[in-house]
Amino acid sequence: MRSRPAMAGWAFPALAVFAVLASSSSARGGDQRLFLENKLANEELALAKTPTLYFIVRLKSKKIALKSRGMTLEEWNIKSLHAWGDAPPLSALGLEKKSTLFPPKRTKIQPAASEEDAAAFELDALELKDMPSKFTLFLSGGIRVYIRPKAKGFFPRLGSFGHFLAWNVWVPLKNFSFKLRKKPFSAIDVKLEKKEDGQAIFWAFPDGIKGLVFPL
């Protein structure tokens, strides 16, 4: 599957998404889907039994959902996605860390020095608009999910070109180095329609949250 027209002349255009490979057009495609749905239901049941929030990334359906007790609390549509490396394991993964160039900073409250200071009100909150829209989720098992919005404007497009180069040159080399060290590696590049969706995902996914990445 080609990621975009610009890649047409790429020497190795076999960039494929796990989803497409997993649900190949062979006769076994339907059978595999049944197995995957069964596995997903099994894994989700285990997560839904706990009182914590969890996420499900459905690669073929291009959806990211935040759930609790089987209910979808919020869902985001993926505009496009690409992948390199091993398929993520079909079991619960933990979010080890979120990495971004400019992480949001919490404001430190200075205790009031006087009654007047205490009465003065200053709105200094960490809000959704302060969240980054471009970041990487590091999941257990060597899985990296690169989240970014669709580039709009000159500088975001320039950044997007940089990302394109990094994705097609640097990430495969990284995968190579992980392979040499016999460590698992998979990278998923997720492009979202809106900047706000990325910010909402950054907000909604606290470190430690568990979830599933499934080729369905």
Partner 1 sequence: MIKTKTVRVSLLALAALLVILEAAALILARAKPAAVADDADPKALAKIKAETDVLEKKIGALSPKSAFIVIDSARNALIMRTRDKELLTAVVSCGSGSILEEPGGKRTWIFDTPRGEFQVKSKVVDPTWIKPDWAFIEEGKEIPKKREERYETGVLGDYALGFGDGFFIHGTLYSRLLGRSVTHGCVRVGDKDLKAVYQAAAIGTKIYIF
Residues of span 27-46 touching partner 1 by CB under 8 A: 27-28, 31-32, 34-39, 41-42, 44-45
**Interaction between residue 49 and partner 1 (CB under 8 A):** yes
Residues forming beta bridges with residue 75, ordered by sequence position: 65
Question: Which lies closer to partner 1 via its Cβ, residue 8 or residue 113?
Answer: 113
Residue 200 phi, psi dihedral angles, 5° rounding: -65, -35
**Interaction between residue 132 and partner 1 (CB under 8 A):** no
With CA atoms as reference, report the closest residue to 185 among 216, 153, 140.
140
CA 145 to CA 209: how far, in whole Å?
A: 14
Which span sits near partner 1 by CB under 8 A: 95-103, 112-120, 133-141, 158-166? 112-120
Q: Which of 62, 164, 172, 194 binds partner 1 (CB under 8 A)?
A: 172
**Total binding residues for partner 1 by CB under 8 A?**
76
**Interaction between residue 15 and partner 1 (CB under 8 A):** yes
Q: Which of 11, 101, 120, 165 binds partner 1 (CB under 8 A)?
A: 11
Q: Which of 64, 66, 145, 147 binds partner 1 (CB under 8 A)?
A: 66
Site for partner 1 in 70-99 (CB under 8 A): 70-71, 73-74, 83-88, 90
Q: Which of 8, 9, 25, 113 binds partner 1 (CB under 8 A)?
A: 113
With CA atoms as reference, report the closest residue to 57 among 160, 129, 127, 139.
139
Q: Which amino acid is at 193?
A: E
Q: Which of 18, 76, 135, 146 binds partner 1 (CB under 8 A)?
A: 18
Show the tokens assigned to 141. 């098992």
Question: Which lies closer to partner 1 via its Cβ, residue 157 or residue 177?
Answer: 177
With CA atoms as reference, report the closest residue to 82 among 163, 196, 151.
163
Distances (CA, A) of 128 to 91, 103, 215: 30, 13, 29
Which span sits near partner 1 by CB under 8 A: 69-77, 137-145, 146-154, 156-164? 69-77
CA 12 to CA 170: how far, in whole Å?
A: 15
Q: Which amino acid is at 148?
A: R
